[in-house]
Amino acid sequence: MKSDNVKTGIDRAPHRSLFYALGMTEEELSRPLIAVVSAKSEIVPGHLHLDKVAQAAKDGIRMAGGTPFEFPAIGVCDGIAMGHEGMRYSLPSRELIADSVESMVKAHAFDGMVLVPNCDKAVPGMLMAAARVNIPAIVISGGPMLSGRVNGVKTSLSSLFEAVGAHAGGSMDDAGLLEYERRACPGCGSCSGMYTANSMNCLTESLGMGLPGNGTIPAVHAARVALAKRAGMQIMRAVEQDIKPRDILNETAFLNALAVDMALGCSTNSMLHLPAIAHECGVAIDLASVNAVSEKTPNLCHLAPAGHHYIEELNEAGGVSAVMAELSKAGLLRDNKTIDGMLLNRVKKAKATGDCIRSIEDPYSKTGGIAVLFGNLAENGCVVKRAAVAPEMMRHSGPARVFDSEEQAYAAIMGGEINRGDVVVIRYEGPRGGPGMREMLAPTSALCGMGLDKDVALITDGRFSGASRGAAIGHVSPEAAAGGLIAHVREGDTIRIDIDRYSLTLDVPKEELNRRLTGARPKAPERNTGGWLARYARMVTSADKGAVLE
């Protein structure tokens, strides 16, 4: 056992003494030592209850003959960080989470680990760490929040952001906005739509690193606690059988995850996190290959914000296993090892019920929920949640309205300066230029609330929230700060979007483009950035590579 390095032999007497200082017994030290990494905090609704989930996992570990040790991980609430400088720290926090978990696990010679995340960056950050240290590991997330209710209609955080836009547009009064504010988020858990947190929790199942139900059992259900106990027991079997993350996270696992991603209509942020996790495993995800998966994988779910269903309904309909069962009918999944056996064994008895999961014969669309666009404006690709785009915006051409920050664009939208047909360009918000590649839910939601989501497109080298809907195209690579063409777009330029043909084009004569590209480089806006973000900006790669650090 790895833990023998800190507990076995005469020369480890000082180490054992420190364990005894923790109140450990000889019997406990004789067992495998299991890290329980919990993102519990009192500032993130998705993490508020993780102490109970972690305790259940520890109970399972002890029942199966192990000794658990809990330690914390940080986590940023994207909703609270949204729309101000705090969002610059969200994506970078993924790296801090991965680094800190790696540090703790390596330093203390654990034999296995149970990862207890829930929100946007905690899930991929912990999976990245698991791949790095490559000891037996399992993920048990905190589960989704239940949907809110406003006037008897299910709702969520994205509805509240859109309500702000409706209020600004004059279609909602103060009392109506307050009703959303008080009722959209009823309690703990990751926000209730198919946003980034729930996307990654569901994809953890399809990757094989979490047990069935990990992505969909609501945070407040007793079944979530029971699942955590089973995860604790399962990690002991994985330690005994020496099943490591890289035994599971191979190329097949990531292709399966991409297929489930397309079927569920997951957040575009999965196109940052899956490549980053794969990178830690030595597996490359080429954005161009994403379209190949999307072309043959039908979209089976329209979960909020793309539709009116919520994660609790996906759970009631059979969960991720039922979605995979539909995909397997068409041979769209390949069998692969999971933390508890083989993937296709999970789907043999799974069956979709109700209307939340459509059958493979009757999908919402024959192609997947995410598309990667290429063209002179995004030579290395950009990403759109196709499942959340209105049909009339799948092809669009309009004049560019250019802004060098989210704040500038949001002020123009709220000030009524954006017209139907416009293409809003928000640049210098990429991984390096932001820095931190801010998630921008406020601009997209404002347009939706004003009824402009079927008339106005947004393009950015930053990213959009999983809660965004409409023609919101993010991750433009190369980014403006790296000299990408998006830095040379001018007010009034025509931009052409064709999502079905995977293209994004700045429609400017070649001679004019050459003049711009060979002339003086546009001056980037000054960012008063210091500390960790300054280091991050120097080290981060582009969005098409998952914004990993070099």
**Paired tokens of 160:** 């509240």
Query: Measured between alpha carbons, how far is 218 from 52 in angstroms, rounded to an integer?
Result: 14
Residue position matching structure tokens 């990245």: 128
CA-based nearest residue to 115, from 67, 125, 271:
125
Distance CA 258, CA 266 (A): 10
Q: Would you say how long the chain is, in residues?
A: 550
- Closest by CA to 240, choosing from 57, 12, 61, is 61
Cα 98 versus chain centre, distance: 15
C-beta separation of 244 from 134 below 8 A: yes
* Partners of 260 in beta bridges: none
Annotated catalytic residue within 93, 141, 405, 465: 465
SS3 401: strand
Q: Cβ-count burial of 99 within 10 angstroms (0-12 exposed, 13-18 middle, 19+ buried)?
A: middle
Question: Which residues make beta-bridge pairs with 463?
Answer: 439
Number of neighbouring beta carbons within 10 Å of residue 537? 20
What is the C-alpha end-to-end distance of the chain, expressed in Å? 32
For residue 91, give the nearest of 81, 104, 105, 100 by alpha carbon.
81
Angle (CA) 208-210-214 rounded to 5° is 130
DSSP codes of every residue in 286-344: -HHHHHHHHHHS-B---BTTSSSB-HHHHHHTTHHHHHHHHHHHTT-----EETTEEHH
- The answer to whether 410 touches 449, Cβ cutoff 8 Å, is no
Structure tokens at 136: 């037996």
Give burial (CB, 10 Å; 0-12/13-18/19+) of 175: exposed
490: tokens are 């001018």
> Are 408 and 425 a contacting pair, CB within 8 Å?
no
* 465 is an active site residue: yes
Closest to 494 measured CA to CA, from 508, 474, 504, 480: 508
d(CA 89, CA 93): 6
The residues that are catalytic are: 465
